[in-house]
Structure 1
């Protein structure tokens, strides 16, 4: 392999930003003619393409990072089913909350099992609340394409920044890749016809960002108080925006609502930990 190409493929900025953005853009353009929610699969495709350059994707031994990747892949399959099987969705947010709770418990179990008393309950309860809420938000935002995609991008970038400052370059890069892939789909949504998001995009994207963020707290040094700030992003993205305005104006208003939360969380992590060593 030429030295230039090898250097490019191993560059963190390329892996976590340029590649997932480009792959999501191309995959979204190719999948959108299929109709339905299929274009949302571009986010998962782009994220795992980027991660394949960061680490060797295999499932044994099943480390916490690999558990997160496995959960994300399963969530993509579940998202496809949720978008293409007709059923009553009334209780789905509660079921997704429960699924997120089980997922984060499995991911942090090696640490959780060594804790006792109030410390154990705080660690478990925080994870259940954070990951469960973001998983449930995947259903809440399902029929709001622009807010849903901006939420995914903001969570990815915010989580990536927080975890990078928390001294975990790998987890931070993975989260940033999620944000970059979602940002590409935001661009597709405002440049072309309506980009239908669906569970196929939101469920794996939300779970990946949520689990990477909480893993950054448990396994690295991400400040705990940054996560409640990031958890407000899905609510901020749902603030009323005039439907009769242009897509660009609606995008600007949604970004204006969520950007302060992202900047606050990342600034708090930077203040607590200092610049990351990459």
Structure 2
């Protein structure tokens, strides 16, 4: 197996590179920026949003598997950015070039944002994909287009719906990092919906899940999630306990008026059937984040 990887310098992709090296998997990175310390012979410089033919470069690379992570994910902007529409076309064009170069298996990062906010654990084949954001809609549209394309061109496709990855290297504006900063008086207080229910998964578990889908040549949709629910209030209380901070006043001051019920948790049994299971609990993950934060 020889793997082609996009999004290698991103939050999830940067966790994958050492994992691939550890397992001795040959990898070729495609993107605008070569990862630090990465050999030039294993890098194809390309702007995936640009109109350029990549088939010849892909043929020369000789990769059998593709893991596509690249997308517009700038915090606070990606939900409604028109770049989401551009990434639909870019993703299909990427897979087409890969197929023309003789590729056999594709894994693409989708999102839990494809789902409607349901009253129970999201199931890959029972829960409706009714996204309420441009980002989620674009991911779902990409999935549908690639599903048909791969079926017509004899490629197997694994679609990985990532829930809420977190970890020490995440954007400091993401919910867990932002809460740790606010609780530690390193950032202003911000409002939250205390009753919202979410499913957080450590980024290292996400990386292992994606690699499992690649190595198993898994086909179909898979929830990449921990599979346990926690409310934002419980998250604040957990972070406070680990920081040894009383969160009573913080919770009272940060609470927004209750909005419509929002429940986003995944069923990970399809992924678990491939031999994967999450290794890092939310408490362990937040402890890791705290230990790596500057004092």
- Normalised by the length of structure 1, the TM-score is 0.32
| Greater helix fraction, Structure 1 or Structure 2 | 1
| Greater strand fraction, Structure 1 or Structure 2 | 2
Higher relative contact order (CA 8 A, sep 6+): 1
